[in-house]
Amino acid sequence: RRRVVVVGAGMAGVQTAVALREQGFTGTVTVIGAEPHQPYDRPPLSKAVLLGTAEGSAFDVDFEALGIELRLGCEALGVRPGARLLDTSAGPVPYDALVLATGAEPVRLPGTEGVPGVHLLRTLDDAEQLRPVLARQHDIVVVGAGWIGAEFATAAREAGCAVTVVEAADRPLAGALPAEVAAPMAGWYADAGAVLRTHARVARVEPGAVVLDDGTRVPAGAVVVGIGARPATAWLAGSGIALGAHGEVLADEQLRTSVPDVHAVGDCASFPSRRYGERLLVHHWDNALQGPRTVAAGIVGAEAGEEPPVYDPVPYFWSEQFGRFVQYAGHHTAADTTLWRGDPSGPAWTVCWLRGDRLVALLAVGRPRDLAQGKRLIDAGTPLDPGLLTDPARPLKAA
């Protein structure tokens, strides 16, 4: 019988195992995960789990009933593709098909490794360490005004902490959004009672303070670093599996790696997007939900001698920050026109990005209907009259 081994027990790994069973795979399925906990979902870690309004976020999956073997607290150390062996902390594991789903690791602030009071926010253990920090209502410094920084700052303000967010760029979300779109978001920090300091680089962390490179000392009972994440693939060095410039596994459009019978999915892998004509490295939840279906179909189809399906999603993610529900669909880098629906200083607005007369991406703040309608237009590639898009009272439709 065929043996599928999945490395990584996060969303992408677990969904791959589930999708294999849904698609009728009858061989053995083993999921290997480094963390000791029952597999869990990450988005609640910066929201309900952090605030203590939810105890945990374990996936509601009956692994036993599905015949999925979990090996937790077990770390993959290397792959020997020639021998079809995965080396782990518990010894070698043979596979017929291997799925890499090791996700991403947060980038550390140089010089802060092991410094007490400096936290990351990626794992359940991180969130559990941060809960009492919020409860103590310290002065908290958040390094990085990205998605994680904004969500953590939101929770910390809700918990009654004094929050300063220091950001090296001139605005929040500088890596993700153009300046004109991120500009209104800067005001959200102040509205929530958090201080946002842009152009602020951390020189060092001292007991009780973060020192910026202009000499400013910002009092800090605790520091939370949210400056990005990198694919967790160091363990693949020397395996022959091709990696890209950010350390991501270079998957093809069927989510197969450069090595036979090894697939890659979720935060650890990039794939070529037909739709956008470039390689995408997506670090969002929906990609870890959709990609696994393609991987499973590829594995199941290969047994039947079928051509595997192509993965070509309209990327989607959401963020909950400062009382707002922010949603994004598509990919805007090749857009030539930016259109606004609604007033960006108000509570609800949408930005549409077009290339020619096609919608390629949109960001909706408090307008979930825009998101749903816009995502359909992006997916279908429907030609649009841009003049009709700017009236927020009209549905986001072609005509």
Contacting positions for ligand FAD (CB under 6 A): 7-13, 32-35, 42-43, 45-46, 75-76, 101-104, 121-122, 148, 232, 235, 266-268, 283-286, 288, 317-319
Taking the complex as a whole, how short is the minimal distance between the CB of residue 37 and ligand FAD, in angstroms?
8
| Contact by Cβ (8 Å): 202, 218 | no
Q: Which is nearer to ligand FAD, 7 or 384 (CB)?
A: 7
Taking the complex as a whole, how short is the minimal distance between the CB of residue 16 and ligand FAD, in angstroms?
9
Q: Which is nearer to ligand FAD, 126 or 303 (CB)?
A: 126
Taking the complex as a whole, how short is the minimal distance between the CB of residue 216 and ligand FAD, in angstroms?
28
Q: Which is nearer to ligand FAD, 34 or 109 (CB)?
A: 34
Q: Which is nearer to ligand FAD, 219 or 240 (CB)?
A: 240
- Residue tagged 């782990």 (tokens): 88
Taking the complex as a whole, how short is the minimal distance between the CB of residue 181 and ligand FAD, in angstroms?
18
Taking the complex as a whole, how short is the minimal distance between the CB of residue 179 and ligand FAD, in angstroms?
23
Q: Which is nearer to ligand FAD, 36 or 208 (CB)?
A: 36
Taking the complex as a whole, how short is the minimal distance between the CB of residue 271 and ligand FAD, in angstroms?
13
| Contact by Cβ (8 Å): 327, 368 | yes
Taking the complex as a whole, how short is the minimal distance between the CB of residue 357 and ligand FAD, in angstroms?
29
Q: Which is nearer to ligand FAD, 34 or 202 (CB)?
A: 34
Burial class (CB in 10 A: 0-12, 13-18, 19+), 282: buried
Q: Which is nearer to ligand FAD, 31 or 384 (CB)?
A: 31
Angstrom distance (rounded) from CA 24 to CA 19: 9
Taking the complex as a whole, how short is the minimal distance between the CB of residue 223 and ligand FAD, in angstroms?
16
Residue length, the chain? Answer: 399
For residue 192, what are its two tokens? 């929530």
Angstrom distance (rounded) from CA 57 to CA 283: 19
Q: Which is nearer to ligand FAD, 99 or 359 (CB)?
A: 99
| Contact by Cβ (8 Å): 165, 197 | yes
Taking Cα atoms as reference points, which of 168, 173, 166, 9 lies closest to residue 101?
9
